[in-house]
Structure 1
């Protein structure tokens, strides 16, 4: 469901009713005569829909985490806020950038439209920038030939499955973040899709190597062995970017998670 499009259509309909009532119908009605119900309801909802549409399109947008691909950073059921203007001002509905502000950086947690089906929103961590060479072999990440250090942490206990996963600390940008890497899952990438710039990637039994094309980004989940990401379906084009995730504002199962991610 394209909620932005639905909201835009409602905005247009209620806006037309508001302008019709304000500049035409009101002048023709007798003094103190009530407005028709359809005009009254439409025009009264217009300011509310306008504010919601503006905030959602240009400031922040709420999302709910549907899968465990970003565990332990984000859990299933987390409600997060996404900063829409972090990477530029984009026209709503068509998502076309009109004002450039900044580019995604390594380590950012980014929401974007899934390249294989733009009707779906995905969330992953930015690993590779345009021009980067990304190597992920034997579950070790290298960026432009530099091995990214992993610091062993305490095993992570999954709250809903009651089992432990090896947990590591990894630093891609200014902040360190946690990743889960399973011991028993093989390193090769299975079920690779056919995607644009597929020729930029080489797959072996130990993993994958890719050169990120211009205007695209390489993303991965923090739950490395339970994430369908750029290793499987390729690069994220700039025009698919929605914004940067920065805040957990609610979780029905664990209120302590509110504000725990930034």
Structure 2
């Protein structure tokens, strides 16, 4: 399935394919995916375990390189960029939120949040810092170190770090996987607000259909390919689409 091209696309891939191994041992993780992700759009990527959703996220974020096809961020093709150019592109346009919080234990919450800007030699917008941390309900925890924070608070610190610099796109890999329901829903609302209010593109991998309902659209993967695209779907619609895509892929998949 090929997504329709939209104006102001921040991330795009064309016929992206990722394989591992060779010959009869070849494993296709992502199978010729073409998709566009517009400015201010919140997209959830879903699929069963082994469907290729995390691999696709890594390709889109430039953390991995497609075997075939192309990926671009902010109109810049990733193919051919050296490590320095790719690092600069991520610094200027990309934020990351992973299930592992990746906070430095010796730094306070505030120091962790502003660290990427400090490393890049960029000024910290204190008004923006205050707004983001208040929205995420951690403004009163900024002087605490990670060990003094709950898991939910640590994850919200990681989210604040990703959002602070207003990156063009934020990639989130199972951001609510380690959180309780109430904390997870608050985090998802914050991501949705970032897309709507600040025009940031959010691309989130999740296995949770409840989490996916916060997105503007859901891409359903199975066997490395996009099998369905849903807009503003209900939890029931997501469950049905995921079940159908998985059954269809299992019946029709052809391995090289």
TM-score (norm. length: structure 1): 0.27
Larger radius of gyration: 1
When you count helix as a share of all residues, which structure comes out higher? 2
TM-score (norm. length: structure 2): 0.28
The structure, 1 or 2, with the larger RCO (C-alpha pairs under 8 Å, 6+ apart) is: 2
